[in-house]
Amino acid sequence: MRTTSFKNLFLAPAFALFVTISACPASGQTPAGGDVVMVLSFENTSNRPEYNWVGESFANSVAELLSKPGLIVVSNDERELAYQRLRLPSTVIPSRATAIKLAREAKATMIVIGTYSVTPPPESGQAGDKADDKSAIEAYVQVTARVIKVNEGRTLGEVLDGAWATRQFDFGGLLTTLQNIQGRIAYQILYQRDKALPFSQNQLVQEATKIPQRAFESYVKGVQLSERDPKRANYLKNAIRFYSDANGGAVYPQAVFELGRFYMIEGKWREATEYFTRLQKKDPHYTEAAFYAGLGYAKLGDFGRSLASLVPLSAEMPLIGIYNNAGAVAVQASREEKKEAERVRLLQQGTSFLDRAAKSAPDDQMVHFNYAYSLFLAGKYAEVAEQLRPVITADPRDGQAYFLFAKALEKIGKSEAAAAADDQARRYLQTYAKWQTEWQKSQTTSNVSLRMRDVLSRDDVSDLMRKKAVAANVDAGSATQDLLGKARDLYQAGRDDEALPELHRVVMIEPTNAEAYLLSGRINQRRGDQEAAIAALKTAIFWDPKLIDAHILLGRIFLERGDRGEATKYASSAMTIDANNQEAIALQRQVTMGKN
């Protein structure tokens, strides 16, 4: 049973190989790891601006659907940042050349571009937001998508009959089937890149349509509006309601996050935190939502909940902004804590966060000010002075920093320097008299404001997420090499039954690993199963046409079978790859001389 099972395993990915191996050269294929894809908004060619939301829906939906193991996807946030760096309005549909520039800015190796046209029913005129259900159902969309390989500067395709044939994906259907179309396009893109996909088109379509159509449409229309437009909130609320109604009260995470941002921008922190806290770790934008929930709770004076959001987040996303805010909130909480032991614990916690942030960001003056103040509260005045010097140098008009600097210098006996700093504090701190009176009475500084980061850098989040994605691919590659090494050792020891399961695990992680198929071919040849060996070796060549050992072994197998035509073909291809390879030369001699 084991033999049959693994024979089927290596036959399955080879279904396309028996048509024509020559149609699948290396230039038409991409290894499973290493590609970064960016999806741009599709262009509306129907001259109907009321359907512009459809183009952005492709950028959102297809990007999410392409996020599969072995392929890193440029997030929508990263895409927006690339537009900003090139000073392009996010609503502009770029030319092919500009699209490639955007891709390079985002460090993408592939870009997905497309066009679409929408034809409303004749009787409805222009179907817009107020169109009735009938016109919405009957509207028809026609879509064309292409994939451009950035480094090559050409559309993805393959060699057919000796010429390069570009590949484009054309789909059409009712506008209400838009998500279905997006699922099919995403599947075709993935399949064109990796024909050994471990899932079917139907599975990807199911994933694409998991968001109810009305919820999806409301969300896309909402996020296209300006951040302060009241209609934005209305669309997002509708999206959340439609999603909840169709899914038993479940949360639509993307819409919930954007509605939280809307209230945050409006300064309505209670409403904002209510929405931000609905997101789970598995949801998109969870990091930003947790960060802004922590910020919101701090602004509302609820430091306990603020720390409950920020402290766990700091372990998962070690970013300066998160460390700074977690430290600042902990220090602020310590100032208001009545119990001495808890006050000391909170101050130590805050100081620890700020110490890490200061070491990681030596030029971040916000962090150094907060760290200095935490040290001030702990009575470490010499260290306070060291932390505040760069803060004052960066901003010579920082009255708060001068005030703390003066008091720290005073505490360590540097009277003259303290007096000079105090003069600057009097000059730049408008509330100096109030602060000085409190200091003289109680040696406290309750009016000092800790400095919170109000915006979490999307650059920082995107960079960290990209690094994690790359690391995941590296880890998968490392695991693949370990499994391959084990399989090689088992093969050398003649333990074929144990080697095959290891190769099974390799192709589960990396379906395009040519060496795994080559080794499977060797094993099946040794076991006398020529059909399985041929299938595996052809699959190896499919993924790596220059894998000379697979060509040579196929030539030998066909020679043994008496199929001199096939043997000659593989002997010739081996010689084309490396005319100096001794095994290839020996095979060519056998074929030419007619000797077995």
Average pLDDT, the chain: 85
Q: What are the C-alpha distances in Å from 265 to residues 227, 230, 244?
A: 8, 12, 25
Q: Where are the CATH 3.40.50.10610 domain residues in the chain?
A: 31-210
- 460-498: burial string, b at 16+ Cβ within 10 Å, e else: ebbeebbeebeeebeebbeebeebbebbeebbeeeebee
In this model, does residue 253 exceed pLDDT 80? Answer: yes
31-210 CATH pick, 3.40.50.10610, 3.40.50.300, 3.30.420.40, 3.40.50.720: 3.40.50.10610
User: What's the pLDDT at 212?
Assistant: 94
Q: In the structure encoding, which two tokens stand for residue 99, read together?
A: 């699209």
pLDDT score at 389: 94
* Mean pLDDT confidence for 210-229: 93
Contact of 536 with 521, CB cutoff 8 Å:
yes
| pLDDT band at residue 136 under the 50/70/90 scheme | very low
Q: Check residue 41 and give its pLDDT.
A: 93
Cα 89 to Cα 168: distance, rounded to the nearest angstrom: 27
Q: What is the pLDDT of residues 399-415, one digit of tens each?
A: 999 999 999 999 999 99
For 303-320, b where at least 16 C-beta lie within 10 A, e where not — what string?
bebbbbbbbebbeebebb
* Three-class SS state of 171: strand
Tokens of 362: 């030596």
- For residue 465, report the phi and psi dihedrals to the nearest 5 degrees: -65, -40
Contacts of 190 (CB under 8 A, 6+ apart): 66, 68, 71, 197, 204
Mean pLDDT on 94-104: 89
Given the structure tokens 């008009």, which residue do they identify? 397
> Rounded to whole angstroms, what are the CA distances from 150 to 98, 147, 270, 554?
11, 9, 45, 35
What pLDDT does residue 39 have? 95
What CA–CA distance (Å, rounded) separates 121 from 48?
A: 13
Q: Quick one: angle between helices 52-65 and 213-223, nearest 10?
A: 110
pLDDT digits (tens, 9 = 90+) for 355-398: 999 998 999 999 999 999 999 999 999 999 999 999 999 999 99
d(CA 102, CA 38): 9
Helix (H, G, I), strand (E, B) or coil at 203: helix
Lowest mean pLDDT among 66-80, 233-247, 283-297: 66-80
Q: Which residues contact 128 (CB under 8 A, 6 or more apart)?
A: 50
Task: For domain 320-455, give its CATH number from 3.60.150.10, 3.40.50.360, 1.10.645.10, 1.25.40.10.
Answer: 1.25.40.10
Residue indicated by tokens 């695991």: 479
Q: Which of 43-57, 189-203, 392-406 has the lowest mean pLDDT?
A: 189-203
197 pLDDT more than 80: no
pLDDT-above-70 percentage for the chain: 85
pLDDT tens-place string over residues 549-576 = 999 999 999 999 989 889 899 999 999 9
Q: What average pLDDT score do residues 243-270 get?
A: 96
- Label residue 270 by pLDDT band (50, 70, 90): very high
- pLDDT band, residue 70 (cuts 50/70/90): confident
Give φ, ψ of 284 to 5 degrees. Answer: -60, 145
- Phi then psi for residue 198, to 5 deg, are -85, 15
Q: Which three-class secondary structure state does DSSP give residue 381?
A: helix
Q: Distance (Å, rounded) from C-alpha 402 to C-alpha 386?
A: 13
Compare 473 and 70 and report the one with higher pLDDT.
Answer: 70
pLDDT in tens, 112-126: 999 999 998 776 444
Residue 135 has pLDDT above 60, yes or no: no
- Looking at residue 61, what is its pLDDT? 93
Q: Could you give the angle at which helices 253-265 and 230-246 cross, rounded to 10 degrees?
A: 150
Confidence of residue 420 (pLDDT cuts 50, 70, 90): very high
Percent helix, percent strand, percent coil in the chain, to nearest 5: 65, 10, 25
Average pLDDT over residues 13-21: 29
Tokens (6 digits) for 354: 């700020």
CATH 1.25.40.10 boundaries in the chain: 213-301, 320-455
pLDDT on residue 21: 25
Single pTM value for the model: 0.68
In whole angstroms, give the CA distance from residue 499 to residue 503: 6
Note the pLDDT of residue 89.
86
Give 142's Cβ-side CA count (13 Å radius). Answer: 5
| Banded model confidence at residue 34, pLDDT cuts 50, 70, 90 | low
Q: Which two tokens stand for residue 524?
A: 């099946």
Q: What is the pLDDT of residue 475?
A: 55
- Residue 131: what pLDDT? 43
Give the architecture (CATH level 2) of 213-301. Alpha Horseshoe (1.25)
Q: How confident is the model at residue 26 (pLDDT cuts 50, 70, 90)?
A: very low
Cα(66)–Cα(42) distance, integer angstroms:
16
Does residue 521 contact residue 533 with C-beta atoms inside 8 Å?
yes
Q: What's the pLDDT score for residue 458? A: 66
Instruction: Give residue 20's pLDDT band: very low, low, confident or very high (50, 70, 90).
Output: very low
| Number of other CB atoms surrounding residue 394 within 10 Å | 14
For residue 315, what pLDDT is reported? 87
For position 532, what pLDDT does the model report? 87
Check whether 1 has a pLDDT greater than 60.
Answer: no
Which range has the top average pLDDT, 73-77, 326-330, 462-466? 326-330
Who wins on pLDDT, 128 or 412? 412
Residue 127 has pLDDT above 50, yes or no: no
Q: What is the pLDDT of residue 463?
A: 66
| Residue percentage of the chain with pLDDT more than 90 | 57
Q: What is the pLDDT of residues 490-507, one digit of tens each?
A: 889 999 888 888 887 777
Does an H or E element contain 174, and which? strand 168-174
Instruction: Average the pLDDT over 205-215 and give the result.
Output: 93
- Mean pLDDT for 444-473 is 76
pLDDT band at 35 (very low <50, low <70, confident <90, very high): confident
Question: pLDDT at position 164, please?
Answer: 61
Report yes or no: 534 and 517 within 8 Å, Cβ to Cβ. no
Give the separation between CA 596 and CA 590, rounded to whole angstroms. 6
DSSP state of 578: -
